[in-house]
Structure 1
Amino acid sequence: MPALPVVRPPARPAPLRVGVLGCGGIAMRRMLPAMARTPLVEIAAVASRDRDRAKAAATRFDAVALHGPDGYRHLLDRDDVDAVYVPLPPALHAPWTARALESGKHALVEKPMTTDARQAHDLADLAKSRSLVLMESFMFLHHSQHRAVGRLVDTGRIGELRCLTAEFGFPPLPPEDIRYRPDLGGGALLDAGVYTVRAAGLLLGDALSVVGSTLVSDPATGVDIRGDALLRAPGPATAHLSFGFTHAYRSAYTLWGSTGRIVVGRAFTPPPDHSPVLRVERQDHVEEVTLPPDDQFANLAARFAAMVLGQEDPAPEREAAVRQAELVDAVREMAVRDSSVGDGGPVVPMAADGGA
């Protein structure tokens, strides 16, 4: 079982001054409130193309508001901003993250960090050359429930690990949602599928390869709306991943071993007050392990600040983001593709982060 990330708070109390490029749903509902309750972080400025959204966010978090067509650029020019958080649509991540790094700002970038591996390599090289932190915002990695899962596997509770299945999906989104826009990096693979790919890397190790995949596209928009992928690790374990926008809600993974299974029922989106329950199933025994609540968004913000403040090595985060982008590219390139006509079901409004 590969080692899982551990959050170690930095010794230095100086807050990290963060500027925010965009006021997307996940930023306003999850990440900015988490940053606001993290002592190591101060939200210094918020930029949006929309004047009212910028002012509302700045008022809420006691920050400077920047807006209009030059708002992002003005934020990057500010001396009181040490780092940026980039929650823009996926297709805008690479160009604005590059500008941030070129301006000397550390960068925390919403997943997916880029829409292809070439962009990920370029950003990682740029961050390394400037001695800046570059981190992809996969918040679920920073929840303690996954370390608990790792301990169960390492102590042999399910024998030898054979297979991981991971699923992240939810009902259709409103037609105007950006995830139906190919020009903005829409599609189920880049929105929901990346979680399952990252979970496979977390639980099976970095040396994964893609064996095969499928993607079903919406003929009206051209984006993929559901898919599956099969990955393998160098050892005996495989990963079967499923994701999409045409499903009943599910955010889970199962580890299946030679003598039992571990089921994690709220793998990617547990709120801070949720007490996770790990289900350990063996042939003659079923046990439910209840864990204390944990705040994965605040943990992520604290780890980003720790790296910027010199308490953590940023290299593993850069390397993980590049490897993640390479695997997502391989899922896309190997996919057997199909078009879906009328299988999307009724449009059900969902939260912008898939109900997190």
Structure 2
Amino acid sequence: MNIEDLTPGQESERRAGIGIIGCADIAVRRAIPAIRKSPFDLVAVASRSLAKAESVAAGTGCAAVEGYEALLRMPGVDAVYVPLPNSEHAEWARRALEAGKHVLIEKPAVQSAGTARGLVELAEERGLLVMENFAFLRHPQHDRAQDLLAEGAIGELRSFNGVFGIPPTDPNGIKYQAELGGGALWEVGCYPVRAAQEYLGEATEVLGAALEFDAKQGVDVSGVALLRDGAGVTANCSFGLSHSYRSTYDLWGSEGRLTLEWAFTPSRDARPVLRLEQRDRETRIIAPASDQFLGVFGAFHAAIRDASARPAHHRELVRQAGLMARIRTHAG
């Protein structure tokens, strides 16, 4: 029985079942603990290695499965989370949709608008949801920023400036492998680009973009993109894999500026600071602690239950993929 066929009475009796395709670190550290607190029932974890799947599944009460296709054939799996290398997202999202599963793809979901549209069309044909996991959007600090902007705390928005950089890690890791979809733009640049879209209008164009490549590693290790919407609001997005850690964005308006000091990857227990500057006054606003991964699985579950919530997620997936592809093309 597919989850979309459940009646309201049945929904209260049966938790939606979810499986995880791949045993990436993000799945182990953040996704599994969040799923176990969410409305989902964690049914299974799949890996190409049974031993690895068993190691990850140990202590969770879920099944360990060898092979991704085997998980897709399991009864009770209504949805899947796909934290595979970027280059494998499109294929396994498609296979999962064809198997009748709702799909949450770890960011960046796919690398072209055409691929994103293809997945959305398949999902809509089958009455399913496909969604990209930008967990940071589920942290309440971003809702507070939107509220302050709507209240006129900084006047009219003029520009967005977002920065996400991390120190170098293992050079043999996935993020440094071009054939697996690695590189700074896809790994960290997607964060400020996605955040900018919360504030810029639909008609966003790429004014400029540049990527710095490491010839030895064969991937881009830093970059910048300049965007502008139809109303003239601009966004400057900077990112890198060879930087001291920085995870922030600010909104500069006609009457002030609002800065989110830990915008993208706050820990579950952290209380991020929003700094509001207005003329000769500065106000520090402390956001509540929140598990943003629990928030994203809650949103995923809600959109599975409520089909009217799915089109917004589908539009966001296509828009992000298209904008990221245009940035990559502009950078050359």
TM-score greater than 0.5 by the shorter chain = yes
Q: Distance in 2 between matches of 1:231 and 1:324?
A: 13
Hey, what does 1:43 align to over in structure 2? 42
Contact 2:205 2:229 in 1 (8 A): yes
Hey, what does 1:23 align to over in structure 2? 23
Encode CA deviations 1:278-332: one digit per residue, 9 max, x unaligned.
1001221011011221221111101111111226521110111001000001100
CA RMSD for the aligned pairs?
1.4
Hey, what does 1:341 align to over in structure 2? none
Hey, what does 1:57 align to over in structure 2? 56
Encode CA deviations 1:96-139: one digit per residue, 9 max, x unaligned.
11000000011000001112222111111111111101110000
Q: Distance in 2 between matches of 1:291 and 1:312?
A: 30
Say which SS state the counterpart of residue 277 (structure 2) adopts: strand
Structural mapping, 1:189-268, within 5 Å: 189-268=185-264
Encode CA deviations 1:212-260: one digit per residue, 9 max, x unaligned.
1001111012211110000001113100000010111001001011111
Worse-superposed segment, 257-266 or 12-21: 12-21
Match for residue 280 of structure 2 among 278, 284, 291: 284
Q: Which amino acid aligns with 1:182?
A: A
Contact 1:171 1:245 in 2 (8 A): yes
Structural mapping, 1:332-351, within 5 Å: 332-335=328-331
Contact 1:277 1:289 in 2 (8 A): yes
Say which SS state the counterpart of residue 205 (structure 1) adopts: coil
Match for residue 144 of structure 1 among 140, 146, 156: 140
Q: TM-score, length-normalised on structure 2?
A: 0.94
Q: Distance in 2 between matches of 1:201 and 1:126?
A: 25
Distance 1:147 1:19, change over 3 A: same
Q: Distance in 1 between matches of 2:298 and 2:190?
A: 23
Q: Distance in 1 between matches of 2:180 and 2:43?
A: 27
Q: Which amino acid aligns with 1:25?
A: D
Runs of 4+ in 1 over 4 A off after TM superposition: none
Cα deviation, residue 211, structure 1: 0.8
Q: Distance in 1 between matches of 2:317 and 2:139?
A: 18
Q: Which amino acid aligns with 1:201?
A: Q
Q: Distance in 1 between matches of 2:95 and 2:48?
A: 17
Contact 2:17 2:43 in 1 (8 A): yes
Which one has the bigger helix percentage?
A: 2
Q: Which amino acid aligns with 2:122?
A: L
Q: Which amino acid aligns with 1:273?
A: D
Encode CA deviations 1:36-95: one digit per residue, 9 max, x unaligned.
111x1111011011222200111232111112xxx1011111122111100000000000
Match for residue 180 of structure 1 among 176, 179, 195: 176
Hey, what does 2:3 align to over in structure 1? none
Contact 1:81 1:105 in 2 (8 A): yes
Say which SS state the counterpart of residue 123 (structure 2) adopts: helix
Hey, what does 2:33 align to over in structure 1? 33
Match for residue 121 of structure 1 among 117, 124, 134: 117
Q: Which amino acid aligns with 1:221?
A: Q
Q: Tell whether 2:99 aligns with 1:103.
A: yes
Contact 2:201 2:231 in 1 (8 A): no
Say which SS state the counterpart of residue 199 (structure 2) adopts: helix
Match for residue 90 of structure 1 among 86, 91, 107: 86
Q: Distance in 2 between matches of 1:148 and 1:289?
A: 9
Say which SS state the counterpart of residue 110 (structure 2) adopts: coil
Worse-superposed segment, 200-209 or 100-109: 200-209
Hey, what does 1:310 align to over in structure 2? 306
Contact 2:136 2:265 in 1 (8 A): yes
Say which SS state the counterpart of residue 262 (structure 2) adopts: coil
Q: Which amino acid aligns with 2:56?
A: A
Q: Distance in 1 between matches of 2:204 and 2:60?
A: 41
Higher relative contact order (CA 8 A, sep 6+): 1
Structure 2: gaps of 5 or more residues: 1-7
Contact 2:105 2:133 in 1 (8 A): yes
Contact 1:277 1:290 in 2 (8 A): yes
Q: TM-score, length-normalised on structure 1?
A: 0.88
Contact 1:161 1:236 in 2 (8 A): no
Taking every aligned residue pair, what percent have the same amino acid on both sides?
A: 44
